Structures are given as structure tokens and as C-alpha cells.
Amino acid sequence: MKLIPEWYEHQNCLIAWPCNKVLYGEIINNARDEVANVINEIAKTEDVIVLSNKENINEIKSKTFHEKIYILECKLDDSWMRDIGPIFYSEDKKLKSISFDFNGYGKYPDYSNDNKVSKFISDYLNIPTKISDLVIEGGAITYDDKKNLFSTKNVIFNKNRKQKYSSENILKQLKILFELDYIFLFENGLIDDDTDGHVDNLLCPIGNNKYLIASTHKLDPNYEILEKNKIDLIKFFKDTEQKFDLIEIPLPTRKKINNKNIVGSYINFYFSKNKIILPKFNVREDNEVKTIFEKLFPDRDIIMLETANINYGGGNIHCITMNVPKI
């Protein structure tokens, strides 16, 4: 059993259509427009399966346009596909999946439909799946091609996840499930992160021993957290005698929508075929980050899309997508 890094070739991309009107309020239509833009961009080079409640299907058809887009009716509570979709892995040269338990981040009451999405997708794609009672969201973990998995203590060990097992047992199960050598845990994620600190705002392995890590300046309230994250990660790699190259990616200037602090990170992006799709925040860091990515990925087009309204809901491009690996 082996986890498949996100930069490997994809079979298709999974996205769920925004439906939580309580979460988005009056800006839900703006969020849907932004999700449609992401769908249309990915569909230029990759098949996209859009999961949707029945009442939103016609709207999706009116906002998306490509022969590579397929709409799949499914009961949804929300739209964070990265968190509710299956975690894919390879075994015996076949694609398989794990369906973890989802409990609405331990704070939202309506999650019963979303907790069924992972198995629904695996069944639809005819992919064998195992059911796990660990509470793990897809955005809470990331992994490289060297049998390392990365997460955040304040997420997977948070009391609100209501895990049935001790911290040690959770780590042991994950190691066995995915044949891992090491699991590294950050202490904390970004301040005000609605997920309690998902790792997909903090770190992204990109291959060749390279890792993108979120950083910021001393006046940002996340400065001390991110500095400790960097120090701890460097120590982990040195202690385990692994080669590594950390590339610091600045956080965007903090913004508010409707008096709500927006938790933004450029690391919350999507690897698509021949390109990378980054969030655009319309701040000074946009150009700096795009230049960094262009130098890191000279063979990929770097596309930036505005996602402020998606971000208002608590996530970004990586959060709303799930890549299905191709084996």
C-alpha cells in the first residue's frame, strides 16, 4: 500500500458544488462562480467530475463549458472535496482507496451526507475501498514520495474530532495503512483556520526532495507559528537523515470579507496536467509567488484564479479539489 503524490499523473479531478448557504450567506453565488472558473480551467487538460445536489445541476451546466466535465448527482452538506473524498493509494499496481470518518471538523452539525461521499465516489469509480473509523480529513494530511506523511497535532488529535483511539494508536494505524516510514506533525496551523490548522495551508511536497513551506513577516500574527514549524521540520529531516530543500512561500497580506478574517495561503493550490492552479488574492505577494512557481516549475503553466469568496467559506483551491491518480 503506497500513497501517491499529487504531482503524479491524474486520472481525473473531483469537485463538489457549493451548497452550504448558512456558511456562505449572500456570497454563495460569487463562490459558485469562482468554483466554476476552477472547474473550467482544470477541464482544459483533465477530466472533472462535479458532484452536486440535484437542485444545483442546471446551474452547473450553465456555468461550466467543456466536454471533459461530468456532473454526478449526490447528496451534499458542503463542498470541501479534499476533506470528504477518498484517499487514494496503490497496491499490487492497482488503484485503491481509504474512506476515513468525517465529523464536520467537530463543529458543524450537518455532515452525515458528506461522510458518505468517499465511499460513494469509490463505488462510482469502481475502486476497491477500505473503511476506517479514524477521523481524518484529506486536507489534514500531505505526503511525499519517500514514505513521509505530514499533519498537524491540533487537527488529528483535537478533542473535537472525537477519535476512538490514543494519539499513539492513530499514528500506528496510519503507518500500517500506508506503509509509512515516518509521520511528522506540526504543532499548529494558521490562526483562525476553521479546520483547526490543516496542513495544506502550511506545507506541500513537490518532488526531488523539495517542500514548499508557508512563511511570513514578523508583524504577521502567524509569524511565530510558522517559524517554529520551519525549525521543527528541519530538525525532523536532519534527525531522520533525509535530503530536503525548503522553499518559503509567503502568506498573502491578510484581508477581510464581511468583517471576517480570511485565512489565505498560496500553498493551497492544485497540481493539474502541465500546469499549477494558484489562488489569487489581489495583494502584492501575488506577483512574487507567481515568479517563485514559474522558476520551480518551468515546464508547467502557472495559472492564478481569484478565490476570495471560496476562501470566505474556509478553504481554497486545494480544499475544493481531489485528484484521482492514474496508475
The CATH-assigned architecture of domain 2-325 is: 5-stranded Propeller (3.75)
| pLDDT score, position 318 | 98
pLDDT in tens, 136-190: 999 999 999 999 999 999 999 999 999 999 999 999 999 999 999 999 999 999 9
pLDDT in tens, 93-144: 999 999 999 999 999 999 999 999 999 999 999 999 999 999 999 999 999 9
Is the confidence at residue 91, as pLDDT, over 70? Answer: yes
| pLDDT score, position 311 | 96
| pLDDT score, position 120 | 98
CA distance 29 to 163: 35
| DSSP class of 254 | P
Contact between 46 and 273 under an 8 Å Cβ cutoff? The reply is: yes
pLDDT band at 1 (very low <50, low <70, confident <90, very high): low
| DSSP class of 11 | E
* Per-residue three-class SS string for 35-100: HHHHHHHHCCCCCEEEEECHHHHHHHHHHCCCCCEEEEECCCCCCCHHHHCCEEEEECCEEEEEEE
pLDDT in tens, 246-299: 999 999 999 888 888 899 999 999 999 999 999 999 999 999 999 999 999 999
pTM passes above 0.95: yes
| DSSP class of 226 | H
pLDDT in tens, 201-232: 999 999 999 999 999 999 999 999 999 999 99
CA distance 265 to 97: 28
164-167, Cβ contacts within 8 angstroms, sequence gap of 24 or more: 164/133, 165/134
The residues spanned by each domain of the chain are 2-325
| pLDDT score, position 257 | 87
Task: Give burial (CB, 10 Å; 0-12/13-18/19+) of 15.
Answer: buried
Angle (CA) 125-126-132 rounded to 5° is 95
